[in-house]
Amino acid sequence: MALTTYAELQASIADWLLRTDLTVVIPDFITLVEARMSRDPRVRKIVRTDPFTIDAETETIPTGMVELDSLTLDGDNLRYGSLDVVGVELLQDYHRLYGTTGMPRAVAMVDGSFYFAPVPDQSYDAVISYKEGVTALSDGNTTNWILTAHPDVYLFGSLMMAAPYMKDDQRIQIWSAAYEQGVEEIHQALQNSMYSGNLRRRVLNPIP
C-alpha cells in the first residue's frame, strides 16, 4: 500500500492494528503524534525562499514556520545584511532612528505576521530562511514534507499513540522505539543538509 496521503496513512494504521472499527479515532492518533512532533526541535526543516517581497508594514509569516533564521534584503540593499529580529515593543525605536517610512531595518513577529520598521516606502526583495515544523494533515491538506520523506515516522508515531487506547501496553515500547529512531534520523539528515555548504546564513553587517 502507498503511504503518501492522509487517507493512505489512515488506511495503513488500520491495517497495522488489524482493526476496521477505528475510523473515528484514527485521526486522533495522527493529531496526537503531530502535537508531539510540533514540540520536538529535531523535526524542523530549514527552508529558504528567494525572493520574499516586503512591500507593506505587515507580511504574512510563511505557513509552517516555527523559527526565523534570517530575513535579508536582496539586490542593491544586500550590503545592509539581515534585518534585526526584535520584539514588537522595540519597533518604535527603529521608527525614531530611521523615520516612519523607508528601507526596513527591523522585523518583529506577532500573531502570524511580520511587522517591519520603518514601514517600507517601496517594494523590497528579500531572502528568508526559516525552520518549518509540522503542517497538520487533514482532508484539505493531504500531505506534508514529513509524510512525503519520512512516512515511517507518521505511521509508527500514530501506532504509538494508538497502543494506550487499545490497552496494548506491550507494543508501546516497540512503536516508541521505531518512532524515536525515525525522528533521530530526520534530525541527522537535517543537520547534514544544514552544514553541507548549500545553505549559509548571511553575516549581519552593521547598519549605517
Of the listed ranges 32-46, 91-105, 159-173, 184-198, the one predicted with least confidence: 184-198
Q: 72: closest CA among 128, 33, 144, 31?
A: 128
Q: Quick: pLDDT tens for 56-89.
A: 999 999 988 989 999 999 877 767 789 999 999 9
Domain ranges, residue 124: 45-132
Task: Give residue 51's pLDDT band: very low, low, confident or very high (50, 70, 90).
Answer: confident
**Residue 92, φ and ψ in degrees, nearest 5:** -60, -30
Within-domain flag for 176: yes
Report d(CA 168, CA 203) in Å as an integer. 52
Evaluated on CA atoms 168, 169, 174, 178, the torsion sign reads: positive
- Residues 42-51 have a mean pLDDT of 86
Query: Please, what sign has the CA dihedral across residues 162, 166, 169, 174?
Result: negative
pLDDT above 70 for 207 = no
Q: Identify any residues that bridge with 110 across adjacent strands, giving them in sequence order.
A: 113
Residue 200 resides in a domain: no
Lowest mean pLDDT segment, chosen from 58-67, 114-123, 197-206? 197-206
Residue 204: what pLDDT? Answer: 37
Q: Are residues 116 and 169 in the same domain?
A: no
The model's pTM: 0.77
Question: What pLDDT sits at residue 135?
Answer: 92
Hey, how many other C-beta atoms are within 10 angstroms of the C-beta on 184? 12
pLDDT over threshold 80, residue 108: yes
Give pLDDT, residue 173.
Answer: 92
Mean pLDDT of 114-141: 94
- Give yes or no: residues 124 and 147 share one domain: no
Q: Which of 97, 114, 132 is the last residue of a domain?
A: 132
**DSSP class of 199:** -
Strand order in the sheet with 65-73: 45-54, 124-132, 65-73
Does residue 46 register a pLDDT over 90?
Answer: no
Same domain, 38 and 49: no
Task: Specify the pLDDT at position 195.
Answer: 60
Residue-level pLDDT at 194: 65
Q: What is the mean pLDDT of residues 146-152?
A: 96
The percent of residues in the chain predicted with pLDDT above 90, rounded, is 75
CB proximity list for 91: less than 8 A, separation 6 or greater: 106, 108, 115, 117
Q: Are residues 89 and 54 in the same domain?
A: yes
Same domain, 53 and 18: no
Q: Is residue 205 part of a domain?
A: no
Q: Which amino acid is at 119?
A: V
Q: Structurally, how many domains does the chain consist of?
A: 2
